[in-house]
Copies of this chain bind each other. A is one copy, B any other.
Amino acid sequence: MRVFIAGVDGYLGWSLAMYLQARGHEVAGADSYHRRDWIAEMGSQSATPIRRMTDRLQAFRENFNTNLQFIRGDLTDYNFVWNFFRAFQPESIVHLAEMPSAPYSMIDAEHASFTHTNNLIGTLNILHVMRDVCPDAHMVKLGTMGEYGTPNIDIPEGFFEIEYRGRKDTLPFPKKAGSWYHQTKVHDTNNIMMACRFWGLRSTDIMQGPVFGTRIDEMGDDERLLTRFDFDQVFGTVINRYCAQAVIGYPLTPYGKGFQKRGFLPLRDSMQCLTITVENPPDKGEYRVFNQFEEVYDLTELAFLVQKVSKKLGLKVEIRNLENPRMELEEHYYNPDHQHLLDLGYVPAISIEDEMEIMLKDLMKYKHRIEARAHALIPDIRWDGSRRKVGFLDKKEG
């Protein structure tokens, strides 16, 4: 299948290009390199020493015996999208090209606006170009489980049948996102749903939980094929951040009470799920939602797991809760469905502890790169708009 990956220089995008190529798909991609700039803006760097795109493409050619069609460009530029799609005629479009960080979007009005413009306009352009250039293509859109927030009822996959005052309808499940970033994903969801209804487009909206992991098998031993690994307060997701902390002997730092629950999955499962989705497109005009995660954990359970695996590797790791820079429920009901991908054949590939062990071993090689940016691990971006480093809740010396 001809698959276009938007955001092919990113954590998921670069991995997916290899994963799909190894399975016989024809892959093309685009990226604006924004992510590299954002990480620099946050004073951090990828723990893995990622190469610039020209070197990545060279390594891709050597390892997969084929070229990855790549153009640097920005999805907010309509002409760029139109020209790329016109030439490549994608059958599947995997849209991983949005600004993906809650804290980044909460910095100030400018970052909130940038997040809205970047994420919404990019997706609007893809929808319009699909309508006019490749109306049968399938957009696999990366949303987030965070769109739902943490309601006090079960979370279905996108839609639910409700009875209200004696009448019934099937409606989109109400969303309650917790940052400007998460809101832009909700806005996208509403926009994509409408475009499918009006224009007969097909799309799968992936409500993905936080992903963790340093590698997939397709990277082999070629360091040039490594994907990025961010551990800073802004772009590092929780398990990745914990593992980076463990490797440099810094305490693991759940925010607040630490009983926030989320659904997590390893990078290799994210690749498996996205590929299953690409290979099983919805009907014309169909908009469907997959909740994409393997299992639900709370932040404290995860810290204990990282601690346990670290100990096995001879790393001594403390857990110390930090003041929560976010505004969120720290103890709540959480029971989201996640059946659609299992029905299509998703089989979790590895236990969470085995994956953590691989991660910690990988990261130990790059310990110096994490140490060099250790300051970036502790949040200072707060949901009230101020910017002050948070402190430990146990009041011991920090």
Question: CB within 8 Å of B: which residues of A?
Answer: 78, 108-110, 112-113, 116-117, 120-121, 124-125, 128-129, 131-132, 151-154, 160, 162, 164-165, 167-169, 171-178, 180, 183, 186-187, 190-191, 194, 197-199, 327, 333, 383-385
Contacts and interface: CB of A to CB of B under 8 A. Distances in A.
Copies in the complex: 2
Contacts of A197: 327
A171 B168 contact: no
Contacts of A116: 116-117, 120-121, 124
A151 B169 contact: yes
Contacts of A383: 198
Contact of A187 (B109, B129, B190, B385): B190
A118 to B, nearest CB: 11
B384 A198 contact: yes
Given A132-B385, A162-B162, A187-B190, 20 more contacts: A78-B110, A109-B124, A109-B128, A109-B129, A112-B124, A116-B120, A120-B187, A128-B385, A151-B169, A153-B167, A154-B167, A162-B164, A167-B333, A172-B176, A178-B194, A180-B194, A183-B187, A183-B190, A198-B384, A199-B385
A71 to B, nearest CB: 19
Contact of A174 (B78, B167, B171): B171
5 contacts: A108-B128, A120-B187, A154-B164, A180-B194, A198-B384
Contacts of A199: 384-385
A131 B385 contact: yes
Contact of A168 (B152, B168, B172): B152
A120 B257 CA distance: 34
| Top 7 A-B pairs, shortest CB-CB distance | A109-B128, A171-B174, A152-B169, A187-B187, A153-B167, A153-B164, A172-B174
A190 B186 contact: yes
A191 B187 CA distance: 10
Nearest to A129: B109
Contacts of A132: 385
Contacts of A125: 109, 113
A29 to B, nearest CB: 22
Nearest to A326: B198
A175 B190 contact: yes
A331 to B, nearest CB: 16
Nearest to A78: B109
Nearest to A152: B169
